[in-house]
Structure 1
């Protein structure tokens, strides 16, 4: 008699001998994931509490954000300070998920699509860490979408990479000229003249 081959699959859930909390002891699963999402989104972002957000990242946490102009925010305290500055600049900002939270097959990466909106009502520290400049509030409204890529380690966020259009954000906040405005329409001509000058070329 031939032995029947088992049809059960390892879906990444914790076994009785595992930690009972995560897949590969990396990303939080099921109940733990819901616990993290509620704390991160509701207690942290929606309540504008940088301490809650900082408590859910590792000590060596790394953040990659388009508005940091290619520089990383490194460390829990540095991330906390960025969130303090964010909530000062945008005191009424809100974050909402625009789709399901998608867990990667590596069991360590979580992808979250989102939308954020609010008003630029306070001073904004903008730029790479160590070179941040303060921008006065323009009291302009912003509303844009993006996507976050979280990588977990031991139930906490070890890295966060955000993807969105930084030019769209800067335009909405009136920090740069509108791409459809007069300044941007004549910019190519000005650049062409400047590029033809020997001083600029050399």
Structure 2
């Protein structure tokens, strides 16, 4: 398994998602998004999941934290819902139908669920599993070590632990009924710091 095995979709929506991510997010958060997409594709291989929407997964991965940036933050809803609505607007411009736009919103929202059954939502399962690996180190032994190292070398973690800790703590304080509060109460700051991927750099 190599990065070269997973080419980003060459579509208007995928290119726009990457552009928005790079323009508005820090490098650490954007690299986290790209790693999450690569981990998701890797988990699909090791779990034998072949039938899923690669473009939708890519767009959702690149934009799953866009709701944390100042320009897209929403004071009344969770950052994952805010980011999902950014993806809805972006994919509407790319010509996606209403059902597929709803799917990208659902997948982004579900990345913060404790788990997602692949039979219920395969893309949601892959993104949740991938972000859990990148944030807390869950299932780090499920992907080949050489793939982990290659991805981390190409897209380094940088200041992700510090930046995301500050971001999710701020979200939890301002929006205590959202999933950010559950993440903070569940020890996400410690998990970021102790993530085994930090030691592979």
TM-score (norm 1): 0.22
- Tell me which protein shows more strand as a share of its residues: 1
Whose radius of gyration is greater, 1 or 2? 1
Tell me which protein shows more helix as a share of its residues.
2
Higher RCO (C-alpha 8 Å, min separation 6): 2
Q: TM-score, normalization: structure 2?
A: 0.22
